[in-house]
Amino acid sequence: MSPHHSPADRHLDRADAAHLDAIEDDSRHVDLLVVGAGIIGLAHAWHAARRGMSVLVIERDERAVGASIRNFGHICTTAQAGLAREYALDAREEWLRVGSEAGIPVRTDGTLVLARTAAELAVLEEFAAGRDDEVRMLTPGEAASLAGFETPGLLAGAHLPNDLRVDSPDAVPALARHLADIGVQFRFGENALEVTGGFVRTTRAEYTADSVVLAVGHDVDRHYPDLAEQTGVQRCRLRMLEIDAPDGIRTAPGVFTGTSLLRYDGFASTEAAARLRAELTESDPELLEHTVNLMFTQRPDGRLVIGDTHHYATTLTPFEDEELDDLLLDRFHRLFGAEHLRVRRRWRGVYAAAQSGPFLMANPEPGVAVATVTSGIGMTTGFGLASAVLDEFVLAPHRA
């Protein structure tokens, strides 16, 4: 097949183009071939390049436009539990490292959690008691001051200072550019059609590699349907909106509310979480019905990214009720105590979800590793997951 530059190559600067050219000169064999240029694919490329491996990333779109650029950019280390917490702690260090190397702004303002009911406060207090070095409880005055706005009925707050934040639509392409600068090769606009041990055929070319990592997010079933079915991987769709900040508020940390306390395992595993769930079932069942996580982050230009709802299916219906955006906007009206919220942009995001656990890491055949985050925390954990996948599925088999 003839070598071909996709139009997407134009998105890369000259330094990147030099790396792209390199693949045309050699035998199209690399140590590691990564399919997917979302955060999970890029995290694998980052770790592999740092370990001295030659790496090629193949992405079907002209640039990554999946979950990794549609999210809050919230690196929510503190509220994780178990393996997710381990990966999140690793990932936090990597974000700080790559941020400083690549000039990607990584905000270190943490997360602010607002408690507006006694049940929410009880979850926060129980969580804080077990993590007193990572959580600072706040009076209503302190919480309002950190939030930058007064919210009706505020009882207390908590600051999680270790959490980070990036602006994903800028950070993810900036990470790809940095990887190109350190020698990672990219082929955008090539859909991987066939992936087998050490071999990938795309819509434009064929490649061989010592190892392949499939980092295609929720599309893992397009390549390994049995694996996806056995592990119960579905698609989860989220609704997101971008609004003008009411009264021009500036809120440095990411902001969580009561629903977030049911969403992240660190909070949700407290005993008090059961009471909060019962309370919400009574007081605002719609939030539970649509698995709402009412949270926001602020973009560098001041707009707020607000969300979100969660709906799960293997094949998602294309039809969506406008009432869901109304629901989100109504609850944000209440949070901000604002008369009017001006919506600037709306979008949907999809990520992989599974009841079986937060990660799908598998070796469906020799020479291929599958790496998918199945719980909507890929920005938080991706770098940690990638390091583990490389160790276990890519490097260990070659050592044996």
Residues that bind ligand FAD (CB under 6 A): 35-41, 58-61, 64, 66-68, 70-74, 76, 191-192, 215-217, 219, 238, 240, 308, 349-351, 372-373, 376-380
Residue number, 119 or 167, with CB nearest to ligand FAD: 167
Nearer to ligand FAD, 68 or 298 (CB): 68
Complex with ligand FAD: residue 292 or 373, whichever CB lies closer: 373
How are beta strands 199-202 and 192-196 bridged, if at all? antiparallel
Q: How far apart are CB 150 and ligand FAD at their closest, in Å?
A: 25
Nearer to ligand FAD, 111 or 363 (CB): 111
Q: Which residue bears the tokens 């000039």?
A: 103
State in angstroms the smallest separation of the CB of 386 from ligand FAD: 10
Tokens 């193949």 belong to residue: 58
Q: Least distance from C-beta 282 to ligand FAD, angstroms?
A: 28
Name the minimum Å distance from CB 171 to ligand FAD: 11
User: Shortest distance, CB of residue 312 to ligand FAD, whole angstroms?
Assistant: 13
Residues 4, 206: Cα–Cα separation, whole Å: 12
- Residue 315 CA to residue 318 CA, distance in Å, equals 9
227 and 216 in contact (C-beta within 8 Å)?
no
As measured in angstroms, the least distance from the Cβ of 336 to ligand FAD is 20
Of the pair 110, 378, the CB lying nearest ligand FAD is at 378
User: Which lies closer to ligand FAD via its Cβ, residue 214 or residue 272?
Assistant: 214
